[in-house]
Each structure stands twice: as structure tokens, then as C-alpha cells.
Amino acid sequence: MENSKPKDGKPVQINIRCDEHVSQGVYSNFAKISHTEDEFTIDFVYINPDPPFGKLQSRIITSPGHAKRFLMALEENILKYEKSFGEIKVPSKPPGNIGYLQ
């Protein structure tokens, strides 16, 4: 990140703490993305196909600049993944007719 270097130019190491329940993660098979001029909101949802219902797993609200850096980092990691494991196949129609990322 641009702001991780002080004036002397040396990188700053940031130690990130994580609660145990957060470190376990949550599963999401659907995401809804919305935005205003000032922020992006990403809702990660689990959609159970039978009977169909959805549960919001997590909501991330971030700045447009950070959203774009996230997009770039995700794209870079997908390219690395595909280089190691092969192309990620995206089905033409998702299971359960739930739609793709919105």
C-alpha cells in the first residue's frame, strides 16, 4: 500500500490480529455489489438451493480506491492460481438458477 512507508522510505510491517471465529472463515456462493460515489458495499451470501433461501454471511464496505486495489489483487491471484492449477471453468448457468455476481 502507498501509505505503508514512512518518510524515510523503509517499509512498515503491520501485524494483523484475528479473532478465532473470524479466522475460520465463512462460505459464500453469491455476492451482491453496490456502490455510491463514496463507497462500495459487497454482500457475501450463502444461497441454499433446497428449499431456496439466502443468508448474508458478511458485508464489506470500502472506498472506491481500495475496491479497485482489491480487484487488481484478486485478478493477479487468479492468474497465479490458473498458472499453477489450470484454467478455472465458469459454468454457463450456475446451479440452482441463482445468478452470478450482481
**Residue range 54-98, pLDDT digits in tens:** 999 999 999 999 999 999 999 999 999 999 999 999 877 655 555
Q: For strand 30-35 and strand 52-62, is the pairing parallel, antiparallel, or unpaired?
A: unpaired
What is the reported pTM?
0.74
In three-state secondary structure terms, 30 is: strand
Spatial distance between the Cα atoms of 30 and 45, rounded to a whole number of angstroms: 5
Q: Does the structure show a pLDDT above 90 at 5?
A: no
Cα atoms in the 13 Å half-sphere on the side-chain side of 24:
4
**Residue range 35-46, pLDDT digits in tens:** 999 999 999 999
The predicted structure's pLDDT at residue 1: 44
